[in-house]
Chains A and B, each alone.
Chain A
């Protein structure tokens, strides 16, 4: 006998992600998912972002996912902001339920923007919503200009793409227009930012993007 089902396989994760987002909306916390390959500069970008957000009187917090270590969380904690570590024990991505459990470590009323730094991986985290309002994918010049072509699923779901370490352009051949064009073919609504945490290029644009996206979301939620 055939049993029709027609259900999203990840519906239980999607449901928990929606619950997380409802909570964020009630507490007026804007949540940004950060994805990227290992070594793309996710944590360094967050360190720069924390300082810049403090300057515009926004209170950041960070939830860090890592396979096994707390190195990234230790780096973030030095900035004196709320930060919690989620060690996945070798699992390659975060899921909504883990994020929900980790939220008990935060007083959401004291947070304006929460960053969820996923495990460094351009494949596995893609299909797992966490409740974030926007998703940013970080990749960098040393990784080569074929990343979008090789991992289209991840880049298609990005609201913002940060091409990091743009100062390395002087050291190697990298066609910036190629991945950018491919990313827009996958998602015409995305925001693309060339960035260097070393020179500070693009950081202001990134902060302005975050501020605008946050205000838009807060207005939508009333």
Chain B
């Protein structure tokens, strides 16, 4: 399960940023995961719970933002979206000559942290 490896990389970034912000606790983390990143959002949440145990992120909420697949028909130029499965056929004209947007983002966008009142 490579989601665990990805979580460990994420945690390195979170801890570094949290220290820089003098945070005591991480309350939530927002990721942006592209549909073609090869990552399962559900598995990420499980891995997050495991990796965050006994860290400043324990109990934090993991928010995963995903976008639908975006596909362009090369015949009729229609742009269409699909949130569950990837469509290789234009719903407008039926052509199979389509182009899929390469949405492979694997980003940590931001986090919500608590800072000790003495550091404010």
Q: A-side interface residues toward B, CB under 8 Å? A: 1-13, 91-93, 95, 123-128, 149, 152-154, 156-157, 181-182, 185-188
| CB<8 Å pairs between A and B, sample of 7 | A1-B115, A6-B107, A7-B107, A11-B9, A152-B36, A153-B36, A185-B88
* Residue from the set B9, B31, B102 with the largest chain A CB neighbour count within 10 Å: B9
A11 to B110, CA, bound (A): 16
The 6 closest A-B pairs by CB, nearest first: A126-B38, A153-B38, A124-B2, A153-B36, A9-B106, A4-B110
CB pair A3–B13 under 8 Å, yes or no, is no
Q: Which residue of A lies closest to B10 (CB)?
A: A9
CB pair A127–B38 under 8 Å, yes or no, is yes
Interface size class of B (residues with CB under 8 A): 35 or more
B110 to chain A: which residues have CB within 8 Å?
A: 2-6
Q: Which of B9, B21, B38, B99 contacts A185 (CB 8 A)?
A: B99
Interface of B is mostly: mixed
B108 sits at the interface (CB 8 A): yes
B107 to chain A: which residues have CB within 8 Å?
A: 6-9
A157 to B97, CA, bound (A): 19
What string of 1s and 0s marks CB contacts (under 8 Å) between B93-114 and chain A? 0001111101010111111111
Q: Tell me the residues in window 20-79 of chain B with beta carbons closer than 8 Å to chain A beta carbons.
A: 21, 23, 31, 35-39, 71
A185 to B100, CA, bound (A): 6
CB pair B109–A6 under 8 Å, yes or no, is yes
B88 to chain A: which residues have CB within 8 Å?
A: 149, 181-182, 185
Q: Looking at the assembled complex, report how far the CB atom of B51 sits from the nearest CB atom of chain A, in whole angstroms.
A: 12
Q: Which of A9, A13, A152, A187 contacts B31 (CB 8 A)?
A: A9
